[in-house]
Structure 1
Amino acid sequence: MTLTKLILALCCLTIFSAKAQQTISAKIIDSTKHEPIPFVTISIDDKTGTISNDKGEFNLTINRPISTSDSLYISCMGYEQKTFAIQNFTESTITLNAKNIDLSEVFITNKNYTLDEILDKVKEGLKINYDFGYAKRKLFYRESYYTQMLKTDVKIEKTTIPEFNQAFVDSIITSVPKNTDQHTEVLGELYGQVKASQPQKMEILKASRLYDKQTEITLENYEKRFNEIIRKHVKRDSYFKIKSGWFGTKEEIDSTFFGDNQEQKETAEFIEKKKEQEAKRQENFLKWKKSTAHNLENANFLNEDSDLNFIKKSRRYEFEMLDFVYFNNEFVYTISFKPKRSADFEGTLYINTQDFAIVRVDYKNVKPLRKFGLLGISMKEYLKEGTIIFQKNAKDKYTLKYADETNGQQVGIKRPLKIIEKNKNVKGRRKQNELAADIHFIVRNIDKKELIIFESTPISETEFNDFTEVADVIPTYLPAYDPEFWKGYNIIEPNTAIKNFKIIETSN
């Protein structure tokens, strides 16, 4: 081969490779309101694709040569579908028009059912409309955890320990991070029955963890931070016993938050259990993420143990017919629900007018789901909201397409605190000085989970049993958001918090 021919061949290969992978990014907005449209389905030739995030943004990578016949479909409930030729796609913003519904079209093949009749048919179809069999699901799972310290008050009532004064305590409080967040992302394939509590197998293709190791709010980090501060400021030959019954640690300085006897034992067991849980999450990443992804997959009205009971316990809710919308080329009832008596949620159901399957539900709690308060420690689950979207698979049954769930907790600690100084070289009672204070901490945690299933392929039980799970992928640690990490992969476009994540270097 001559040099000219070799150069020509390499140029052709480069051009072919460039066209063999194409990335499409855009934002989808309402043509009238000019507001982002979340959860829009973006698909290639109406088969595979992704979904837009809550800001209407999406990023779709096509890993094959693009032909002139390839089309990009943009579809969303209540909007007219749009189609683009992929080869000529250059849009950065896509506008969708609301679709007007002609009610005469709806009732051509469907009688005018009452609201109660529709709900009865929904219940009848729960076992036949949805696929609970074995399947391989190619998925992307993201979990974001946000922590915000709302109150960190420590008021000293009395102190005879020179180092432990109000200024010193305030400096400790200031050093504790007030806001932290961390994000875990997993691309993989989940094998098993699409049903709660059924064993699953998983192959993780790629994963990342985006967080700051130094400011991660864990028991071990607080122990480490506290003991570093004590060692730095206390130079005398003493050790300290700290009583609050909250949490504990024991170091050379003997800084322990334990009470006495049974309280000490129970608190110690609690601390060790928390440490073990944190260690397991780090060490057994595959098992942990397989479980969380499968739990989110089943966190819906099909699961008898779910809090989302607005179908199976419909008598607790008040329903109202709102409208009709167009979704995946079919008409859909839009029905709102809210608590009638002691129920917890309000939201909107989208029900197919032909088979009465729920194809989407948006929900949000209307009151705290759980409350707890004892001995100055309180906990309140104040938030649970989300969106669930189903689509049909190759067996013409509905399977999960997308799930988004946000949970919020608020934990408060309001207790007296006592620090007792002792000296190891003094015989007898050894009690020398003490500090008495009141502490009042309030922390808010928000856990946001997202799951998109790109493909759900039915498999046999034999295929499931023959698949061998190998736990050989651990998440890549990212100290800052890196847009190159997921380049070439289809994921849910990250939100602003993830894109802006960056560890801020601080000096000790």
Structure 2
Amino acid sequence: MKLTSMALIVTVLVTTATFSQHSVSAKLIDSTTQKPIPFATIAIDDRTGVISNDNGDFNITIDKKITESDSLFINCLGYEEKRIAIKTFTDSIIQLQTKAIDLSEVFLTNKNYTIDEILERVKEGLETNYDFGYTKRKLFYRESYYTEMLKTDVNIKKSTIPEFNQAFMDSVVSAIPRNTDNHTEILGELYGKIESGQPQKMDILKASRLYDKKNEVTFENYEDRFNQIIKKHVKRDSYFKIKSGWFGTKEEIDSTFFEEEKVDEETAEFIAQKQEQEAKRKENFLKWRKHTIHNFENDGFLAEDTDLNFLEKSRKYDFELHDFAYLNNEFVYTISFKPKRGADFEGIMYVNTQDFAVVRVDYKNVKPLRKFGLLGISLNEYLKEGTIIYQKNDNDKYTLKYADASFGQRVGIKRPIKIIEKNKHVKGRRKQNEVTGDIHFIVKNIDKRELIVFESDPITDADFNAFNEVPDVTPTYLPKYDPEFWKGYNIIEPNQAIKDFKIMDSAN
């Protein structure tokens, strides 16, 4: 039995840089569908390699003089490995053929297992196939955060403060950016046990933050914008208190996010969590980011408390064995899973036919992971999808090679709003005037994370304890995309949104 094959066309541009650096850029395209081919491994040797991004793009830099023996190796799920001599390469198109699989070859040293037998062996191998010990991981991590304001309605019902009319409130709303994005990129080395929850140390070699400082979407930025508009348009000798509003303030406006007696625990916890995250991110870049990266590399199917629990709670899923595939010169089972008892995810996993290790998972949620609404506040965590790829290290254990994930949520607030004017110099009750109305905001957030581990080297606990961090590391601020910033480094090729990023001047 032979699997059908198809060609893969790779358009490659090879350029030579100074200091004997060679840069190879490419876009992987399926010749039949014309769609990009993501997550292919492109390597020079066991220590130098990258992954094509979700648009099929990659760039690999070779920091040495190229010799006749240096080759580029391209591995893609289901395809024969392609070897290209870099020094003599002149073509602009590379075609990869799928691996023609003969089932007799697969079963030469293996039996024809049932799906239940395969799953049982996968579970038995979770403790032995994967490396949970001390390692040093050289990695590149990118996190992109996209925000879109879907609704920004403020309706004034009654106002005895002339300045606070509908036109003024419309001007406040118009100052809120409709679409924003920011991107954090880190090249570094992470030390510690890979196991979830273990302490980590990190050496950040280079890092950047690409964002618009003025339009960064935080509680503090909204507060500052509102205060600036108040100062500009309202000249009264008063201060204002906002009840049941969107903003929390510390200056002229003495406000609360909710009236205290109406705060429910889940909503208050959500708001407090967002504010704490913002504070931690700004307080200590190294501490916050190593924690984020370590959590992300464990956000898979190995941890006991993971969302992606299709193995731990396999009774909640239906599994189906499909055709065999070919990955990194080895055969793998292709197994799909989908929920049958209230589980959250569907997807495909690829299992090595020899040691029954899961070497790749593609997954997507089939229902919201978290959803609540109370007192006009709503949260819908509607998206979690991604890809996880493992490969063996020097311990002959599997460690994470690549992870890509997108998290999406919608946050809404639909509540009455009251703005009360109080005079600073009047004794007794200081209330002068007030504005009443309604607000309805809906914001959509997409958090996209990408992680590639270039090297994963086993270390001892003594090596871990001996390493000393440099805590006061700050990323380089970039107001626009700079193609020179990562020149000479191997990273995940940025998508078009990052390449197009630049600050747009806007007036309040």
Q: TM-score range by the shorter chain?
A: over 0.9
Gaps of 5+ in 2: 1-15
Report the equivalent of 1:74: 74
Shift of 1:101: 1.6
Aligned positions of 1:287-298 closer than 5 A: 287-298=287-298
Shift of 1:179: 0.8
Report the equivalent of 1:109: 109
Shift of 1:92: 4.9
Report the equivalent of 2:8: none
Report the equivalent of 2:237: 237
Instruction: Call closer, same or farther: CA 1:203–1:362 in 2, change over 3 Å.
Output: same
Deviates more, 1:446-455 or 1:424-433: 424-433
Shift of 1:430: 3.4
Report the equivalent of 1:145: 145
| 1:55-84 C-alpha deviation (Å, 9 max, x unpaired) | 111000111111100111001111122111
Report the equivalent of 1:340: 340
For the residues of structure 1 that align with 2:432 and 2:141, how far apart are their CA atoms?
55
Shift of 1:428: 4.1
AA of the residue aligned to 1:355? D
For the residues of structure 2 that align with 1:187 and 1:137, how far apart are their CA atoms?
11
Shift of 1:437: 0.3
| 1:383-408 C-alpha deviation (Å, 9 max, x unpaired) | 00010000011121111100111111
CA contact (8 A) 1:27 1:93 kept: no
Aligned positions of 1:325-404 closer than 5 A: 325-404=325-404
AA of the residue aligned to 2:491? I
Is residue 506 of structure 1 aligned with residue 506 of structure 2? yes
CA contact (8 A) 1:30 1:97 kept: no
Aligned positions of 1:242-261 closer than 5 A: 242-244=242-244, 246-251=246-251, 253-257=252-256
Instruction: Call closer, same or farther: CA 1:433–1:318 in 2, change over 3 Å.
Output: same
| 1:409-464 C-alpha deviation (Å, 9 max, x unpaired) | 11110110011222233444333322110111111111111100001111111111
Shift of 1:224: 0.7
AA of the residue aligned to 1:136? K
Aligned positions of 1:452-467 closer than 5 A: 452-467=452-467
For the residues of structure 2 that align with 1:208 and 1:113, how far apart are their CA atoms?
49
Report the equivalent of 2:132: 132
For the residues of structure 1 that align with 2:51 and 2:445, how far apart are their CA atoms?
27
AA of the residue aligned to 2:506? T
Report the equivalent of 1:285: 285
CA contact (8 A) 1:245 1:264 kept: no
AA of the residue aligned to 1:254? I
Shift of 1:30: 1.9
Report the equivalent of 1:88: 88
Aligned positions of 1:435-450 closer than 5 A: 435-450=435-450
SS of the aligned residue for 1:87 comes to: coil
For the residues of structure 2 that align with 1:111 and 1:270, how far apart are their CA atoms?
51
AA of the residue aligned to 1:296? F
| 1:124-180 C-alpha deviation (Å, 9 max, x unpaired) | 111111111111110000001111111111111111211111111111111110111
AA of the residue aligned to 1:148? E
| 1:234-279 C-alpha deviation (Å, 9 max, x unpaired) | 112222221116542131x334245666669999999787555423
Report the equivalent of 1:6: none
* Number of equivalenced pairs: 492
For the residues of structure 1 that align with 2:379 and 2:76, how far apart are their CA atoms?
38
For the residues of structure 2 that align with 1:261 and 1:473, how far apart are their CA atoms?
39
**Structure whose alpha-carbon radius of gyration is higher:** 1
Is residue 42 of structure 1 aligned with residue 42 of structure 2? yes
Instruction: Call closer, same or farther: CA 1:19–1:229 in 2, change over 3 Å.
Output: closer
Report the equivalent of 2:9: none
Instruction: Call closer, same or farther: CA 1:419–1:349 in 2, change over 3 Å.
Output: same
| 1:28-52 C-alpha deviation (Å, 9 max, x unpaired) | 1223323211000001135421110
Report the equivalent of 1:305: 305
Shift of 1:20: 2.3
Shift of 1:96: 2.6
The TM-score normalised by the length of structure 1 is 0.92
Is residue 420 of structure 1 aligned with residue 420 of structure 2? yes
The TM-score normalised by the length of structure 2 is 0.92
For the residues of structure 2 that align with 1:402 and 1:124, how far apart are their CA atoms?
24
AA of the residue aligned to 2:159? T
SS of the aligned residue for 2:144 comes to: strand
Instruction: Call closer, same or farther: CA 1:258–1:56 in 2, change over 3 Å.
Output: closer
Report the equivalent of 1:179: 179
Shift of 1:296: 0.9
CA contact (8 A) 1:206 1:473 kept: no
Percent identical pairs in the alignment equals 71
CA contact (8 A) 1:410 1:445 kept: yes
CA contact (8 A) 1:210 1:480 kept: yes
Instruction: Call closer, same or farther: CA 1:361–1:17 in 2, change over 3 Å.
Output: closer
SS of the aligned residue for 1:83 comes to: strand
Deviates more, 1:199-208 or 1:91-100: 91-100
For the residues of structure 1 that align with 2:257 and 2:224, how far apart are their CA atoms?
17
Q: How large is the RMSD of aligned CA atoms in angstroms?
A: 2.2
